[in-house]
Every structure is written in structure tokens, then in C-alpha cells.
Amino acid sequence: MAKLLINCTHGREDAERAILSFVVGNVAASADQEVVVLLTIDGVWNATRGYADDIAKEGFQPLREVMQSFVNNGGQIWACGACTKPRGITETDLVDGARIVTAASAVEYLASGAASLSF
């Protein structure tokens, strides 16, 4: 099984990049690949309850739906702890399927052979 880490740095300010991160992740998860979407910088807001509800881009499914499908297909959502902390985001703020991780978690995942892609 292949491993993939997709870094998403965007939220409302660039809906297309935010949605594409999860579209690609969902394709991998649907193909039974181990995949993580790592949310960094302003992308961490996507992991908070209610934030993705109104993010949409013409030609794409709404972010909320793509994220839910991604999680339902076995994908993992990781929110960068160094990015969540200054924004006041805690574990209690997160959507189902998301968790806050350290940089060491991302490095370990990549060192174990995961390919990476960024949006």
C-alpha cells in the first residue's frame, strides 16, 4: 500500500486549493491507499467544526462534502499543532476524523516512505 501526505495551506481565501487537497486525498483513500491531509498555516481552520460548511467553488463538490467522504473512505486529517496553537484551536474544536499533531508526526510519516503533495 502506498502512503501519501497532502499538505493543505488554504481555507476560505482559496477555496479551490482547499477543496483540491481533499479531492486528491479522497481519490487515494477510495483506492485503499493510506493518506493524510496535513493542514498547515490557515488551512488548519478547515479542521474546525462549521468552518468548511460554506466553502465552495464552481465545478467542485463543497469542501464539507469532500472532507466527509475523505474521512468515510479512511483518510486522516491532521492539523499542525504549531499552526493551531496561535489561532486558539484545540482538539475540542475539531471535526470528526481530525486531530492535532506535532511536526514530528509529519516527519515520521514522510520518513516512513510517504510521498508528498502540496496545495
Is the per-residue pLDDT at 1 higher than 90?
no
Looking at the 3D structure of the chain, how many domains does it have? 1
Distance separating alpha carbons of residues 113 and 79, to the nearest angstrom: 20
CATH code of the domain containing 20: 3.40.1260.10
Half-sphere exposure of 85 (CA within 13 A, CB side): 6
- Range of 103's domain? 3-118
Q: Quote the pLDDT of residue 74.
A: 97
Cell of 9: 495551506
* CA distance linking residue 93 with residue 111, whole number of Å: 29
Q: CA-to-CA distance for 27 and 22, rounded, in angstroms?
A: 8
Which pLDDT score is estimated for 65? 97
pLDDT at 35: 98
Digit-coded pLDDT (tens) for 83-100? 999 999 999 999 999 999
Q: Give the pLDDT of residue 51.
A: 98
- Average pLDDT for 15-27: 97
Structure confidence at residue 34 (pLDDT) = 97
pLDDT in tens, 29-79: 999 999 999 999 999 999 999 999 999 999 999 999 999 999 999 999 999
Provide φ and ψ at 20, rounded to 5°. Answer: -60, -35
Q: Which amino acid is at 54?
A: D
